[in-house]
Amino acid sequence: MRINIPSNPGDLITLAKAVLAQHTKLGAASPLNGINGIAGFGAQVGAADTNNQLANQLYEQAETATENRDNALGPDATTPGYVRYFVTSARDVLAGQNKGSEHKLGDWGFDVIASAAVTPEAKAAAKAARAAVKNAKAGKPAS
């Protein structure tokens, strides 16, 4: 026979309240009186219950706040009226005004990475080089 103790905090608190109620009802006749520190059990159950209720409220508030934040950020950079749209538009305007001096966007808080963009020609050359190496390993002549 097993007698389970819940791992879920809410269920454990519910069980603790039931145990506390029975202990209190029996008073001096309670078999739990021999447990070291049992006098503090009620206070601990109360603290656990109060903080569990607070945790549940804060969790619901956090869910609502997260949803509201995500709604303000917007679905994508192309939908007008949202944070993503405004930030992307600001980047585009500033990049256009600072052509050749894109590092100045750092003054606006943007993370500017100063590396050369990979052109389609460079991608094609890299692909051809990889194919040549693969062919050479396979013993095929270069094309």
Distances from the Cα of 9 to the Cα of 17, 19, 64, 108, 129, angstroms = 12, 15, 22, 47, 60
Question: Using the 8-state DSSP alphabet, how is residue 140 labeled?
Answer: P
**Angle at CA of residue 113, ends 123 and 124, nearest 5°:** 5
Asked whether residue 115 carries a pLDDT value surpassing 80, the answer given is no
Query: Does residue 98 sit in the same domain as residue 47?
Result: no
Q: How many domains does the chain have?
A: 3
**What pLDDT score was predicted for residue 138?**
80
- Average pLDDT of the chain is 93
Tens digit of each residue's pLDDT (9 = 90 or more) over 2-38: 999 999 999 999 999 999 999 999 999 999 999 999 9
CA count, 13 A, side-chain hemisphere, 95 = 10
Name the pLDDT band for 76 (thresholds 50, 70, 90): very high
Share of residues in the chain with pLDDT > 70 (%) = 95
Q: Quote the domain boundaries for residue 83.
A: 76-112
Per the domain annotation, does 1 fall within a domain? no
Query: Does residue 101 sit in the same domain as residue 51?
Result: no
- The whole-angstrom separation of Cα 137 and Cα 129 is 12
